[in-house]
């Protein structure tokens, strides 16, 4: 893996990033072109939104579009979430991280590449450390084994509990679907969704 993906990202000064830095934060891990959080930021102006993406050109494009739209509650960061997440979350105002989405992550099909999948035990632990009690993690994928693996990772951590009794959510509980979600459903293919919440002490 290239060195720029191995080095943790430097955390921004949140007071300079967001007009209201104390607002609840929605973190989208693997945001791609960032259109999902772009729409969410317009709908929920009382939330801040942060997209993390490992492909730098997509982040540059997303931040440019954000600037053109003058959105003060949205920011994108180029980083590898698996080695930068704790550095970023540790600088947030405690309790502000209240919602996390991980949607249609790269499946890395080959077994030898499994360690590159974004939802690793370390990432789950870091989210458990910084997500507010009662905060939620929304997962979805169009590849069943990826969705199962993500759910297993969160289910194995004592801080999280799965909401609902059904195996998969039929509907997306958020007001904005991702581009991949729309394309998958237009083909009549299934989307595997689940929500976890952080339990109290």
Render each residue's pLDDT in the chain as its tens digit; 201 residues: 445 555 667 789 999 999 999 999 999 999 999 999 999 999 999 999 999 999 999 999 999 999 999 999 999 999 999 889 999 999 999 999 999 999 999 765 455 444 655 689 999 999 999 999 999 999 999 999 999 999 999 999 999 999 988 999 999 999 999 999 999 999 999 999 999 999 986
- pLDDT for res 49: 99
Q: Is 46 annotated as a binding residue?
A: no
**What is the separation of C-alpha 123 from the centre of its chain, rounded to a whole number of angstroms?**
11
Tell me if 115 sits within 8 A of 185, measured CB to CB.
no
Strand partners, 197: 136, 161
The DSSP 8-state label assigned to residue 1 in this structure reads: -
- Alpha-carbon distances of 26 from 15, 131, 164, rounded to whole Å: 16, 10, 21
Q: What is the pTM of this model?
A: 0.92
Q: Measure CA of the first residue to CA of the last residue in the chain; give whole Å.
A: 38
- pLDDT for res 60: 97
Q: Is 126 annotated as a binding residue?
A: no
* Domain ranges across the chain: 21-198
Q: Is 63 annotated as a binding residue?
A: no
What CATH number was assigned to the domain covering residues 21-198?
Answer: 3.40.50.150
Task: Please provide residue 124's backbone torsions phi and psi, each rounded to the nearest 5 degrees.
Answer: -60, -45
Distance CA 142, CA 163 (A): 20
| 169 three-state secondary structure | coil
Residue 35: CB atoms within 10 Å? 15
Question: 67, 106, 129, 152: which one is catalytic?
Answer: 106
Q: Is 4 annotated as a binding residue?
A: no
Residue 89: CB atoms within 10 Å? 20
Cα diameter, the chain: 44
Does 106 qualify as catalytic in the annotation? yes
């Amino acid at each position: 893996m290239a060195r720029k993906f191995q080095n943790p990202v430097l955390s921004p000064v949140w007071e300079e990033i967001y007009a209201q830095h104390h607002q609840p934060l929605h973190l989208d891990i693997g945001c791609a072109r960032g259109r999902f959080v772009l729409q969410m930021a317009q709908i929920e102006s009382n939330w801040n939104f942060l997209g993390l993406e490992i492909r730098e050109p997509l982040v540059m494009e997303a931040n440019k579009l954000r600037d053109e739209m003058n959105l003060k509650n949205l920011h994108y960061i180029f980083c590898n979430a698996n080695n930068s997440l704790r550095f970023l979350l540790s600088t947030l105002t405690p309790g502000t991280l209240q919602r996390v989405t991980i949607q249609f992550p790269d499946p890395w099909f080959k077994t030898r590449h499994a360690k590159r999948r974004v939802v690793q035990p370390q990432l789950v632990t870091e989210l458990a450390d910084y997500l507010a009690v009662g905060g939620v993690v929304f997962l979805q994928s169009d590849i069943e084994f990826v969705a199962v693996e993500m759910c297993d990772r969160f289910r194995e951590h004592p801080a999280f509990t799965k909401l609902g009794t059904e195996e998969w959510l039929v509907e997306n509980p958020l007001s904005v679907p991702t581009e991949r979600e729309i394309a998958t459903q237009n083909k009549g293919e299934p989307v595997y969704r689940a929500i976890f919440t952080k339990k109290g002490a």
